[in-house]
Each structure stands twice: as structure tokens, then as C-alpha cells.
Amino acid sequence: MNQEAGPGIFRALLSGPPPSSADSMRELVILGTASQVPTRTRNHNGYFLRWDGEGLLFDPGEGTQRQMILAGVSAARITRICLTHVHGDHCYGLPGVLSRMALDGVGHPVHLHYPATGEDVVRALVSVSSPGIDLRLHPHGGSGSVAEGLEVRPLRHRIETYGYRLTEPDGRTLLPDRLEAAGLRGPDVGRLLREGFVAGVHLDEVSIPRQGQRFAFVMDTAPCDGAEELADGVELLVAESTFSDDDAALATQYRHLTAGQAGELAGSAGARTLVLTHFSSRYDDVALLAAQAGSRAAQVRVLAARDLQRVPLPERRRRQDAAPQAGPADRTHCQTGARGTE
């Protein structure tokens, strides 16, 4: 293992072969939804975000390797592992996952992001894993980018904790009818995307703006500025909801969110979909938590996560300054300066 920096998420997609149809998918696979104590129906934390050719594993708690098998998630698809902090329910599954990757002969680099103050714990967990994978360690501290398209913000928990935000660059949606009218096809379209101008045609004449998709992961925190910055305008927000609003005193004591606070975070941030998770074992039925969050998250789709559930990333928002919209069959998505990733 080493601390060599690797390519960012979108740079990796650009430098590799075009994504196949099987790889052109964006979804969240929920591997576990329990907080400190697992239950008969809820495993410890674990969340796999499939983002085209990249696979990001967040907070692999105890039992994550088995949950991946049950969910049909191959260890070979993991390209990054992101730890919010080093409490056991967020990282004790790391040795098993790394060992499985070594057993499967994973050949690509695997980037591990974590708070620098958790260095000793992370190295201890890595040391008891089977060797054999190209593991790149990326400790971080403070706000900022940790890879191209991936950034962190500090949260407010009992130990140093960071949330993650994934942001796709804005791009353009090509309009095939306008391309045809301009006589552009084949290699000329590629040149137009790279250079913005070809054969007397500007890119903005044959396309409309397309806002990149955004995802945020907010675990183990009291309400704070960092959580708000991470959640701002995302399509999909995964947020802890350890306690019911009725147990707000416990949430304050242990620096967690209540369901209502998670809903308020999503609503004020303008998130499209909120996935609640990290539930205390005191709640057998989390429908009440979803209702509490929903009451404070107007116009936000609220889901109480279930183990092994799959949540597709919501469709992109439409840019307000876009040209008159074409029909779905008349659009081709692209990313300026990069291959399309849908």
C-alpha cells in the first residue's frame, strides 16, 4: 500500500475505454442500515455507489463482505473506499472487503479515503487484511477536494468525522436534429465536443446545457455547516437518522441527527431524494422516522433505507436557462471535454 495520488473519478473515466452499457449505471446499493448495534433485519453500515465505471464503497461496517454477496455486488467493482470516521460500525468491515478483493485478484488501484486522525486505526485494519491489492491511502483533514469530483467537509460528531460529496461536471445535451441540420456526424461530433467549434458550428448551437449530477453522504453528525454544504442541491442525499424526534435529547448528547433534522437538512438544501439510514436498534419500525423527516422536507422524496435495497440516482435537473427542450428520443448526452457518462 502507498499514498500515491491516483486519478479523479471523472479523469479515470476519461482515460479509460468508453463505459459499456453495463457500466453506464448510477445507483446506490444499501448494504446495511444499523447504527452501533445491528439487528435481525439490519446489518451494520455499508453503502455501494455505482457511478458508471467507478464503484465507491462508503463506511463498510462489520459484515459488509457478506452483504455484498447477498446484494450481488462484486468486490472487483470497488475502486474507492470512503470512511467518514473510524468508529467501528463504519469501518470494521474493511479487512474482510480488502481480503476478498485480494482473493479475487483485483488488479486495478483501490483508493482509500479517511480522516488523517484515524491513521492508526486504518493502518491496523489494513494490516490484518490479506495482501495483494494495489491499495492507495489518502488521509485528509479539513474541507476540500480529495479527488477530482470528490470533496469532503467536516461534520460535528464525537470524533473527527467528514462527509463526502460527488459532483459531476456540467456538460451539454446534444440535439441530433440540429446536428443533422448542420451536417455534423461521426468524427466531427467528437471534435465539436473537444474544441467547441467545427465546420462553422459552435457547440451551443446544437446542444443545451446539462447540469452534472450530485451525490452527498452525511453520517454521524449534529446539525452543522458542513452537512449543509455537502447536501446543497444534490440529486441524492444519504443522511443518518439515528434517532426519532421524540429522542432529540439523545441525539444532542451523542451528536447525531434526528429524523426531523435530516429532513430539514434535505429540504433546506433543495435535495431531490433523501435516503435515511443508520437507525438505532431501539426502533423496530422506521416508518415513523420517514414520516418525521417528510414533514420537514417539502418537495423531497424521502426513503427509509432497507438492507439490500437499490436506489437509482434521480434524473438530472433541467437547467433553467436551457433552450426549448427536445423530446427524450431527440437528445444525446455528453460531457464537455470528456466522454459521455450516461
Tens of pLDDT, residue by residue over 127-147, are 999 999 999 999 999 999 999
* Predicted pLDDT of residue 185: 87
CA 133 to CA 108: how far, in whole Å?
A: 8
Confidence label for 3 from pLDDT (cuts 50, 70 and 90)? low
Determine the pLDDT at residue 325: 41
Complete edge-to-edge strand list for the sheet that includes strand 207-210: 207-210, 171-174, 332-334
pLDDT score for 78: 99
Residue 152: pLDDT band by 50, 70, 90 thresholds? Answer: very high
- 106-115: pLDDT as tens digits: 999 999 999 9
Of the listed ranges 78-87, 255-264, 299-308, 332-341, the least confidently predicted one is 332-341
C-alpha cell at 99: 481480503
Nearest-Å Rg of the Cα atoms of the chain is: 21
Query: Tens of pLDDT along 288-320?
Result: 999 999 999 999 999 999 999 999 999 877 655
Separation CA 238–CA 284 (nearest Å): 20
Looking at the chain, the domain(s) classified CATH 3.60.15.10 span: 22-170+211-312
**Active site (annotated) includes residue 120:** no
Which fold is adopted by the domain 22-170+211-312?
Metallo-beta-lactamase; Chain A (3.60.15)
* 49 within 8 A of 293, measured Cβ to Cβ: no
Task: Please tell me the predicted confidence (pLDDT) of residue 79.
Answer: 98
Phi, psi of 110 (to 5 degrees): -120, 125
Give the per-residue pLDDT at 45: 96
Q: What's the mean pLDDT when you consider all of the chain? A: 89
Percent of the chain with pLDDT strictly greater than 70: 85
Q: pLDDT digit string (tens) for 10-54? A: 554 433 333 444 456 899 999 999 999 999 999 999 999 999 989
Residue range 180-202, pLDDT digits in tens: 899 998 898 989 988 899 989 99
- Active-site residue (options: 23, 89, 220, 245): 89
pLDDT band at 210 (very low <50, low <70, confident <90, very high): confident
Percent of the chain topping pLDDT 90: 77
Report pLDDT for 7.
56
Exposure string of 311-341, with b = 16+ CB inside 10 Å and e = fewer, is bebbebeeeeeeeeeeeeeebeebbeebbbb
Residue-level pLDDT at 315 = 83
Q: Quote the pLDDT of residue 24.
A: 61
Give the bridge partners for 81, in sequence order: 57, 112
Q: What is the pLDDT of residue 171?
A: 85
